[in-house]
Amino acid sequence: SKTPNWIYWFAFPEWAYKPESSPGSRQIQLWHFILELLRKQEYNDVIAWQGDYGEFVIKDPDEVARLWGARKCKPQMNYDKLSRALRYYYNKRILHKTKGKRFTYKFNFNKLVLVNYPFIDMGSGRGVPQSAPPVPTGGTHFRFPPSTPSEVLSSSEELRSPGVFSTVARRMARGSVSDCSDGTSTNSELEEAAAAADERAIGPDRAFRGLLAPRLPHESLFRPAPRVHPDPLSPFPVSPLPGPGGLLSPALSMTPTPHLAYTPSPSLSSPMMGSHFSFNPEDMKHYLQAHTQSVYNYHLSPRAFLHYPNIIVPQPHRPTLEKPAPHHLQPPPMPLPLGQQPTDDAHASPFKFKLQPPPLGRKQREAGSSLAAASSSNHASSFTGAGPNAGSAAGGAPPKIKVEPVSDLSEEDVEVTDISEEDELNPNSEDEEGDMFPLLPHSPPVSPGGTRCIPLKLRFKRRWSEDQRMEADGDRDEAEDKKVRGEGEDQEDGKREGEETSSELQRATAQLSLENASC
């Protein structure tokens, strides 16, 4: 069958494979190992990419277990145990099960897509950088974003510098090797350094880690920005090159700690466009269209919609619409963010604003006592409106989001707290009071206006909960929320369309050898 298009570009950046990039562990982690196997052709009969983006099937569970056991020096390892470990990833959003398919799992790439926080956790030192972009592994030519769902994800790659592209490809080809005993890389360090040199040679491009970050001031998208800031926060020799890829960071949302290292927009200049691509509106249109498509395809938060001035993004093809097509698809002439759910009109705001959850008491009063009963602990969970026009969004109900002008005008971005329409579907959701998605990590925990401040931690937790829901194919609450609320409702199987099997992943990915030294 036809090779999924994403295969030709999907991969993790080199550092993602490096055990030392595993959060909180010096030992190789299972997901790491899985990736390792996945990109090595010799294991194609054991485990391989298959079907949807990020989906893989364990063809030989026993063998995978054996390999894993060998790597971890756990001779008693078996698939039952290994799968238990995999299941623990569900809650971490690293993986989820492809229901109805045996031994088939899927990396939660969509969650990893922290569009609003493309650089999250970079350099936190505690987790895998979440802006890890997919790294192209095949082809080195620029092409426009595709229009079919199966191709859209490549859009994130489109704007990447060819130079980096090839550089990364080379790195991929070289690969890294991990030894069994401790999971630390052996020869990859030097290669990494070399690769870093390569990329430096390209120029300041290493700074395009912010290239198309939605929060990137749109102006800088169209004029080369002179300022280049090496990422002081990155623990890696080379910035993982988020760029547009940051929108599609693979498996790296693993560490739900998106609060630490947001890179302020001003530093997100993208010199690459001057040197490598012409970012004319048409290109951007293509890109945005593709991105928008991917947002849909992967049920991303509407935050994922990119808005750029004067560019109208065509409606993506979406056969089955469960919800009315949001108007996000028609980006306003404002560099404004990313609204939330269909009722959100935040983008229409002519001014910068951010949304904050309302003060507790008052909100509850407005919501009514009956409602309050159902959502006593998540007062703001059913926010539907955002922005100045959102007042009517809730269908007569008073807007549940407090909109306030952003006082910090130096901030080019707009802060929009995300909201959860899901909670309306699930009144039982008993999230903590932190309903809103996190604001920019660098924003002060207490809003200027004395707005009730939800601890960042909670905000993020809320966001992750949201992400979790969105990622579930059925938009069902899952792992974490379930865990949090102690609920155990059934989940519907996600429908998987456009399944494409690939036996050619390896053709596109680097040829690497996996060394499983004995223990």
Partner DNA sequence: GGCGGAATCA
Partner DNA sequence: TGATTCCGCC
Residues that bind DNA (CB under 7 A): 22-25, 29-31, 61, 68-69, 72, 74, 76-77, 79-85, 87-90, 92, 97, 99, 101-104, 255, 479, 482-483
Give the nearer residue to DNA in terms of CB position, either 81 or 496.
Answer: 81
How many other β-carbons are positioned within 10 Å of the β-carbon of residue 138? Answer: 18
Amino acid at site 276:
H
The residues that bridge with 96 in the sheet, in sequence order, are 106
Give the nearer residue to DNA in terms of CB position, either 36 or 412.
Answer: 36
What CA–CA distance (Å, rounded) separates 101 from 95? Answer: 14
Is 357:452 a contact under the CB 8 Å cutoff?
yes
What CA–CA distance (Å, rounded) separates 116 from 106? Answer: 23
Give the nearer residue to DNA in terms of CB position, either 72 or 461.
Answer: 72
HEC readout, 226-241: CCCCCCCCCCCCCCCC
Torsion of CA 442, 15, 107, 378, to 10 degrees: -20
515 Cβ neighbours under 8 A, 6+ residues apart: 177, 178, 179, 180
Least distance in Å: CB of 425 to DNA?
19
Least distance in Å: CB of 38 to DNA?
15
Give the nearer residue to DNA in terms of CB position, either 89 or 460.
Answer: 89
Least distance in Å: CB of 90 to DNA?
5
Amino acid at site 24:
G
Least distance in Å: CB of 80 to DNA?
6
Give the nearer residue to DNA in terms of CB position, either 73 or 201.
Answer: 73
What CA–CA distance (Å, rounded) separates 31 from 47? Answer: 13
Is 241:206 a contact under the CB 8 Å cutoff?
yes
Is 423:382 a contact under the CB 8 Å cutoff?
yes
Give the nearer residue to DNA in terms of CB position, either 83 or 377.
Answer: 83
Is 132:249 a contact under the CB 8 Å cutoff?
yes
Torsion of CA 176, 179, 182, 188, to 10 degrees: -20
Give the nearer residue to DNA in terms of CB position, either 421 or 480.
Answer: 480
What CA–CA distance (Å, rounded) separates 36 from 251? Answer: 13
Least distance in Å: CB of 100 to DNA?
8
Token pair for residue 276?
């490598």
Least distance in Å: CB of 519 to DNA?
12
Token pair for residue 394?
């809730």
Give the nearer residue to DNA in terms of CB position, either 250 or 358.
Answer: 250
Report the alpha-carbon angle 92-96-98, nearest 5. 175
Give the nearer residue to DNA in terms of CB position, either 91 or 131.
Answer: 91
Is 201:94 a contact under the CB 8 Å cutoff?
no
Least distance in Å: CB of 286 to DNA?
37
Least distance in Å: CB of 125 to DNA?
12
Least distance in Å: CB of 103 to DNA?
5
Q: How far is CA 333 from the centre of its chain?
A: 25
Give the nearer residue to DNA in terms of CB position, either 319 or 488.
Answer: 488
Least distance in Å: CB of 28 to DNA?
7
Report the alpha-carbon angle 99-103-104, nearest 5. 55
Is 470:478 a contact under the CB 8 Å cutoff?
no
What CA–CA distance (Å, rounded) separates 71 from 32? Answer: 11
What CA–CA distance (Å, rounded) separates 335 from 414? Answer: 8
Amino acid at site 253:
S
Give the nearer residue to DNA in terms of CB position, either 104 or 176.
Answer: 104
Least distance in Å: CB of 76 to DNA?
4
What CA–CA distance (Å, rounded) separates 72 from 139? Answer: 35
Give the nearer residue to DNA in terms of CB position, either 382 or 468.
Answer: 468
Least distance in Å: CB of 422 to DNA?
17
DSSP state of 325: P
